[in-house]
Amino acid sequence: MRAILQHAYGGPEVYRTADIPVPHPRSGEVVVRVRYTSMHADIWHVMRGHPYLARLLAGGLRRPHVPVPGTDLSGTVTAVGAGARFSVGDEVFGEIVKGNQWHNGGTFAEYAAVPTDRLAIRPDHVSPQSAAAAATPALIALQSILQVDTGPGRRLLINGAGGAVGTLLVSMAHARGTDVTAVDTAAKAGLLRELGARRTIDYRTEDYTASKHRYDAIIDIPGNHSYQRNAAMLTPDGKYVLIGHDEYGRAHRPVIGSVGKFMKLAVRAPFSRHLAPFNLKAFESIADPMQEIAGQLAAGELSPAIDSVFALEDAADAMRHLVADSPAGRVLIRVTGD
């Protein structure tokens, strides 16, 4: 089968196309013929081996333990392992590697072996592209929004709203009746309003932390302002949630990246009414998070924004676009297509 292999850490030039064997499902797994997968920041971390912590998580100091990049997908089940809960022919979507875990999962290939507890049936009227665009970012968005108070009369600011996670956060919050303010570039303002943002702020011309507006919650994706400046924007019981990424190395934190910021917030959390650190237990109230995402897609509560679609062989160009061009929504990789 065709696949992209990563033979070292470095720039997009470390990706090459190769023919490798089709995987076989182990117990609790299915093999999926991959229609679409996505390019995103976690894949950049593994490609670059940045921060150095990512190399430990990826399982290799010189190259990742799993050579095939990719963490999420949509596609068709072609083989079933013992105890698997899907059948051959099922159209599914989901993730192999959970968000923010920084290791390769093997979806940049025509076939991938996937644990069944990380998949859901793709709703009939949801396209393979939309499902692939939703898988990981929708789970990150849901994990974040469960930590804040949303609904009619509640005001939420989303910093970095124009990317894959942010656009889904806007959709989720709007579906709950929340008054959403979206911070990103002016070029994305129309899309964000279409998704449900009541107000947009162009961060290139306006510093949202200097505003007199107050919010019941702030969900901060880039983490490019201090906690103190964000906290000053909150109502007395308002909550701050950091998702955070390393700005593709521009933040100059080569050892542990954004992890240090999360650790500092975790230490402060017991002493601050505003802090709701990124909570790995946020899904405890949901029996099957992927099924929850499938239900929201089926109900039209989620509108995954797709920025662009690249061929599998052009994965390196997709990465360059992701880093350089500030995509509006998800960057997809077409593997076998529709």
Write down how long the chain is. Answer: 338
Residue 220 in domain: yes
Closest CA to 337 of 127, 43, 41, 88: 127
Closest CA to 330 of 185, 194, 176, 131: 131
3-state secondary structure of 277: coil
Residue 204 in domain: yes
Q: What are phi and psi of 156, to 5 degrees?
A: -125, 130
Q: Render each residue's pLDDT in the chain as its tens digit; 338 residues.
A: 999 999 999 999 999 999 999 999 999 999 999 999 999 999 999 999 888 887 887 778 888 989 999 999 999 999 999 999 999 999 999 999 876 677 899 999 999 999 999 999 999 999 999 999 999 999 999 999 999 999 999 999 999 999 999 999 999 999 999 999 999 999 999 999 999 999 999 999 999 999 999 999 999 999 999 999 999 999 999 999 999 866 677 677 777 777 778 888 888 888 889 986 545 556 666 778 999 999 999 999 998 999 999 999 999 999 999 999 999 999 999 999 98
Mean pLDDT, the chain, rounded, equals 92
250/207 same-domain check: yes
197/247 same-domain check: yes
Task: Provide the domain limits for residue 51.
Answer: 2-137+290-334
170/94 same-domain check: no
pTM reported for the whole predicted model: 0.92
Question: Where are any strands of DSSP class E within the chain?
Answer: 2-6, 15-19, 29-39, 72-80, 91-95, 111-115, 119-121, 155-159, 179-184, 199-202, 215-220, 234-242, 306-311, 330-334
102/178 same-domain check: no
Residue-wise pLDDT tens digits, 121-154:
999 999 999 999 999 999 999 999 999 999 999 9
Residue 283 in domain: no
CATH code, domain with 170: 3.40.50.720
Residue-wise pLDDT tens digits, 227-238:
999 999 999 999
Q: How far is CA 16 from CA 82, 220, 313, 316, in A?
A: 33, 35, 8, 9
171/71 same-domain check: no
* Measured CA angle at 259 (ends 258, 262), to 5 deg: 95
Cα–Cα distance, 283 to 294 (Å, whole number): 15
Look at residues 253, 277, 301 and tell me which one is the last residue of a structural domain.
Answer: 277
152/50 same-domain check: no
Question: Domain tally for the chain?
Answer: 2
186/117 same-domain check: no
CATH code, domain with 37: 3.90.180.10
3-state secondary structure of 145: helix
Residue 282 in domain: no
129/174 same-domain check: no
299/324 same-domain check: yes
- Containing H/E element for 102? none
Neighbours of 57 (CB within 10 A): 18
Tell me what pLDDT residue 109 has.
Answer: 99
Tell me what pLDDT residue 148 has.
Answer: 94
Residue tagged 């360059």 (tokens): 320
Relative to beta strand 179-184, strand 119-121 is unpaired
Tell me what pLDDT residue 236 has.
Answer: 96
Closest CA to 44 of 331, 337, 338, 292: 331
175/126 same-domain check: no
Q: Please say whether the beta carbons of 314 and 335 come within 8 A.
A: no
193/221 same-domain check: yes
264/197 same-domain check: yes
